[in-house]
Structure 1
Amino acid sequence: MASKFELKKSRNDKFVFNLLAANGQVILTSELYESRASALSGIESVRKNASDDGRYGRLCAKDGSPYFTLKAGNGQVIGQSQRYSGEKAREAGIESVKANAPGAVADDQSA
């Protein structure tokens, strides 16, 4: 399986996408979008910004678990990772987004 963006409709009729690595693991989850068109624009923004290391926020949750965010050029968060077991795992997640996002196809499952 190639990497892909899965676009889905949430329970409250908003749209969300996940970036999946080739092994099917979720490596980035979007914010909620009001429309399908906005979510598709979000996917394009991830593709565009994924390779720029300066767009990643390296953060820690309240419990100390590392995670990251990806921001667009305007500073808005366009995606967030899951929590990782350590900083090395978080860095591997960032590298996975950089490698997978630019060529990932969009799989629209929101209909």
Structure 2
Amino acid sequence: MANEKKTDKKVNDKPVAEKKKVVGKWVIKHKGEVEYAAYLLASNGEVLLTSEVYSSVDGAIQGIETIKKNVALDNFELVQDKAKRYFYKLKSSANRLLCVGEVYSTKQSCVKSVESVKRFAESAVLSEKIEEDLTIIEYVPNKNVDEKSALKGKWKIIEDDDTGYFCAQLFASNGELLLSSEYVSSEKAAKSSLQNIRKNALAGNFVIDRDKNKNYVFKLRNEKKSILCIGASYKTLAACQKAVDSTYRFCVTAVADKF
């Protein structure tokens, strides 16, 4: 045809560049005396999750493999704290707490973070460098409590209507929720959790840590440093310490519902 122009150029004569895969990073940080934690970072450096503490670097590395396994199994649980903010927990199939996510102002942001963890966890590269991040503070609460005159807290065993699982919760005298155990499959197990929490609270096994937003959060641990309960987050260390003192005080004075 008269109006056609002949050309030898092919439309696809240049190879199409493969899209570079976005990869995250696992980092092990030295958190305190013989305490190490694994962090999962997105490709932009955002912290997506923090593991429990381990007594050695090798323990933290093994913990990463356990985390990846349970991420693949989708063992996530979304939690709303008393300040109406959201965070997630990652648990093992045996209901052991493995990781706690960062705190978010909306449920949507928290869900988005979970999806990011699923995307990055398996392929993330383990950094060879052990980073120093000595943020864990072992805080001893004020144990000067007059049981006779102090305000009384209350322990309750709560059943989840949707799952039929149970948890133990500690309330202040004004009804504020202070501590909550993990949900377990029976009321008997929840009662056992209550006793374990109370024992470790009275022993003063509290630590305070900081999240990526520089907020302070307290955790109650057992003798092996496994997390039993997580408190709310606070903007100042003093406010977080005050919350620990209050929690300890109500653990001392709390009565239990009849069960």
Common fold: TM-score over 0.5:
yes
Task: Check the 8 A contact 1:47/1:103 in 2, yes or no.
Answer: no
CA deviation after TM superposition for structure 1 residue 98, in Å: 0.6
Task: Check the 8 A contact 2:50/2:100 in 1, yes or no.
Answer: yes
Task: Check the 8 A contact 2:23/2:123 in 1, yes or no.
Answer: no
Match of 2:111 in 1: 91
SS in 2 for 1:24: coil
Please list, as runs of the form range in 1=range in 2, the aligned pairs for 1:34-53 lying within 5 A after superposition. 34-53=55-74
SS in 2 for 1:75: coil
Please list, as runs of the form range in 1=range in 2, the aligned pairs for 1:12-31 lying within 5 A after superposition. 12-31=33-52
Tell me which of 67, 70, 75 is aligned to 2:87: 67
* Cα distance change, pair 12–61 in 1 and its aligned pair in 2 (3 A): farther
Distance 1:109 1:62 in 2: 37
AA in 2 matched with 1:15: Y
SS in 1 for 2:60: helix
Match of 2:130 in 1: 110
Unaligned runs of 5+ in 2: 1-21, 132-259
Distance 2:116 2:27 in 1: 16
- 1:26-75 CA-to-partner distances (Å, cap 9, x unmatched) read 0001111112221111100111111222x101101221110001112222
Distance 1:78 1:107 in 2: 20
Establish whether residue 76 from structure 1 lines up as the match of residue 103 from structure 2.
Answer: no
Q: Which protein has greater RCO, CA pairs closer than 8 Å, 6+ apart?
A: 1
TM-score by length of 1: 0.90
Q: How many residues align?
A: 110
Distance 1:101 1:24 in 2: 13
Ranges of 4+ aligned residues in structure 1 off by more than 2 Å: 108-111
Task: Give the number of the structure whose alpha-carbon radius of gyration is greater.
Answer: 2
Task: Check the 8 A contact 1:15/1:110 in 2, yes or no.
Answer: no
Distance 2:119 2:83 in 1: 29
Task: Check the 8 A contact 2:84/2:105 in 1, yes or no.
Answer: no
SS in 2 for 1:10: strand
Match of 1:58 in 2: 78
Establish whether residue 5 from structure 1 lines up as the match of residue 26 from structure 2.
Answer: yes
TM-score by length of 2: 0.40
